[in-house]
Each structure stands twice: as structure tokens, then as C-alpha cells.
């Protein structure tokens, strides 16, 4: 594929990682019946066929939603982010250096010590990042490293079939987060562990859209069907301040251009990003959760 092709169209989806065999845990996302697999894809006796892409990855999502999601990734800032996500190492190198949100403390890997050896762990809304070989990546868009394309509000997994689930800053992007939490609770085994991080003080960020924010109390209420093990700060006060400052500067220097503002905000993020290292200290201070950019919860299925 030529450079001009890559600039005009997202690269053909190819999974970098050979996914684990998930045939024993997947089901129809609509009726939850057992699926039969073939070289052409998966089939449900009630809801018909589900395709696989060129890399053999299951597309366990309705065709209408899959098309809608794909279209939302090919315009504006979403297109720019999706384009760079085709090259995960480059994308995350830029993100970790220049993004003003520090995401190095209290991460999702902490739940591994609470899970049985070789347990089945889902990363819902993974994007192109793989947290480790233990994780099965699930996303609504076929980024590199995604193992199963699925809707977080209609997970294609059998009841009580999963040992652990992590989801990083995804709940704000789904229209009905309570439904997503209900689905995660459904597929977890009894005693299964959930890790979820969400934004608290954070500007609007479409990926492809943005709907919600939570306090610690609000996040605990959202996950009230779980036994709460731990809550805390994922990204602290400096991350919150720098993100708002970048977006504020983007609006000011766009001089009224709605299209230009988010692009300029990302330029200012590149300049301000290194200051996020101050959160290595500030995120630990008492009361940091009251002005944190991102918070998290760890819960156990009752």
C-alpha cells in the first residue's frame, strides 16, 4: 500500500498477535446462543452469520454497528488517531511522551495477582495495545492487536466464562455505561475481578464520541453489583490541569474555528505533555482524588 493510500484510507486490519482459542467462551452477541465456526466465519442458528476479517479475527458485532463505527474512525481527529494506531509502537511512544495525562500508576495489570494462573482475562476497548499475553483484546474497531471485534454493550461471551476484565477509559465512550457494566458482570465468573478506569476532571475527547464523567462515589455506584476492593487515582491533578490548559489554548488560538480548535489542542499537548511527570508526586497527595484526571475501581463479582 502506497503512502497516499495510507493517508486517504486506514490500513487493512491485520492482527499482529495470534489470538488464543476463544471458541469455548464466545457466543452470539444478540441471542447468546452457541456459535458454529468455519473458514468463512461464525454462524448462529437464530441471528445468522458473523464474518471474520483477512487475519481470521472474529467480527462478533452487528453489521450495522460495525459499519457505523468504521465510518466514525475516518474523519477529523478520529481519523488522525486511528491512522497512528495502525502503528502501535509509534502511537504509544508519542502518547506516553507527549500526552499530558500520566498513566503509569495503579494500572490494570494489578488485577493479575488476584486471578488464578492461566485465567481468561479480557481487555475491553483495548485499542492497539496489548497489556500482556494473558489478555484477550476486544474492541469495536479492528486495530492491530485486537483479537475480537465486539460491542461492549453486547459482549459475545458466555455467562460466567471469564476470570478477569480490565477496561481503561472506555465507559465514558459508550452511550449506556450501566449496560456495559451489567454485561461485564454477566460474563465474569463468581469471584471474577473487574478493573475499570474512567475520567473525572477531563475535557471532552471523542473516540469516536464522549458521553460521561464520574467521581469516586459515582464510579462505586456504577459498579454497585460488585464487592469494591479498591478505588484510587490513575492520573492526578497535574494531568487534569494540563489537559484543560491544552484545550483552552486550542480554543483561544483557533479564533473561532470549531474544526481547528481540537487540532491545536493536540499541538499544545505536545508542548505541555512532559509536565505531567509532576503527578508522580501530586497524585499521591491526600485529596488528589478530588481533582484527578482519571480514577479507577477494582471490584469482585459477588
Domains and CATH numbers, the chain: 20-301 (3.40.50.150)
Summarised one tens digit per residue, pLDDT across range 54-92 is: 777 889 998 888 777 766 665 555 666 667 777 878 888
Question: In the structure, what pLDDT confidence band is assigned to residue 24 with cuts at 50, 70 and 90?
Answer: confident
Q: What is the pLDDT of residues 235-256, one digit of tens each?
A: 999 999 999 999 999 999 999 9
With a pLDDT cut of 90, the percent of the chain lying above it is 64
Range 162-177 average pLDDT: 97
Mean pLDDT over each residue of the chain, to the nearest integer: 88
The percentage of the chain sitting over the pLDDT mark of 70, rounded to a whole number, equals 89
**Nearest residue to 247 (alpha-carbon basis) of 228, 233, 267, 232:** 267
**pLDDT tier for residue 6 given thresholds of 50, 70 and 90:** very low
Tell me, letter by letter, the H, E, C secondary structure of 44-69.
ECCCEEEEECCCCCEEECCHHHHHHH
pLDDT greater than 80 at residue 196:
yes
pLDDT at 130: 92
Q: Do 188 and 301 touch, CB atoms closer than 8 A? A: yes
For the chain, count helices (H), then strands (E): 9, 11
Q: Residue 4: its pLDDT value, please?
A: 38
pLDDT at 137 over 80: yes
Most confident of 77-81, 113-117, 207-211: 113-117
Local structure of 29: helix, strand or coil = coil
* Band of pLDDT at residue 17, cut at 50, 70 and 90: very low
pLDDT (0 to 100) of residue 18 = 53
Q: pTM for the full model?
A: 0.88
d(CA 158, CA 7) in angstroms, rounded, equals 39
**pLDDT of res. 298:** 98
Going by pLDDT thresholds of 50, 70 and 90, the confidence category of residue 205 is confident
Question: Rounded to whole angstroms, how far apart are CA atoms 243 and 202?
Answer: 7
Amino acid at each position: 500500500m502506497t503512502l497516499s493510500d495510507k493517508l486517504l484510507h486506514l490500513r487493512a486490519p491485520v492482527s499482529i498477535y495470534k489470538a488464543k482459542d476463544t471458541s469455548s467462551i464466545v457466543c452470539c452477541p444478540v441471542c447468546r446462543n452457541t456459535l458454529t465456526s468455519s473458514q468463512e466465519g461464525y454462524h448462529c442458528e437464530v441471528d445468522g452469520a458473523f464474518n471474520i476479517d483477512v487475519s481470521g479475527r472474529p467480527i462478533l458485532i452487528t453489521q450495522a454497528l460495525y459499519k457505523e463505527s468504521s465510518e466514525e474512525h475516518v474523519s477529523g481527529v478520529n481519523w488522525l488517531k486511528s491512522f497512528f494506531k495502525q502503528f502501535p509502537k509509534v502511537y504509544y511512544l508519542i502518547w506516553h511522551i507527549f500526552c499530558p495525562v500520566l498513566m503509569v500508576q495503579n494500572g490494570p495489570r494489578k488485577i493479575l495477582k488476584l486471578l488464578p494462573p492461566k485465567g481468561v482475562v479480557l481487555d475491553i476497548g483495548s485499542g492497539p495495545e496489548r497489556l500482556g499475553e494473558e489478555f484477550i483484546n476486544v474492541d469495536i474497531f479492528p486495530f492491530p492487536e485486537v483479537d475480537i471485534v465486539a460491542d461492549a454493550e453486547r459482549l459475545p461471551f458466555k455467562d460466567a466464562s471469564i476470570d478477569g476484565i480490565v477496561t481503561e477509559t472506555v465507559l465514558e465512550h459508550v452511550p449506556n455505561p450501566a449496560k456495559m457494566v451489567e454485561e461485564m458482570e454477566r460474563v465474569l465468573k463468581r469471584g471474577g475481578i473487574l478493573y475499570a478506569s474512567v475520567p473525572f476532571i477531563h475535557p471532552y475527547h471523542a473516540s469516536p464520541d464522549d458521553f460521561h464523567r464520574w467521581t469516586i462515589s459515582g464510579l462505586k455506584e456504577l459498579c454497585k453489583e460488585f464487592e469494591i476492593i479498591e478505588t484510587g487515582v490513575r492520573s492526578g491533578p497535574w494531568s487534569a490541569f494540563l489537559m484543560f490548559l491544552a484545550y483552552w489554548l486550542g480554543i483561544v488560538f483557533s479564533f473561532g474555528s470549531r474544526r481547528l480548535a481540537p487540532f491545536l489542542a493536540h499541538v499544545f499537548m505536545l508542548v505541555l505533555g512532559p509536565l505531567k511527570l509532576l503527578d508522580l508526586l501530586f497524585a499521591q497527595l491526600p485529596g488528589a482524588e478530588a481533582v484527578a484526571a482519571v480514577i479507577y475501581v477494582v471490584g469482585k463479582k459477588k
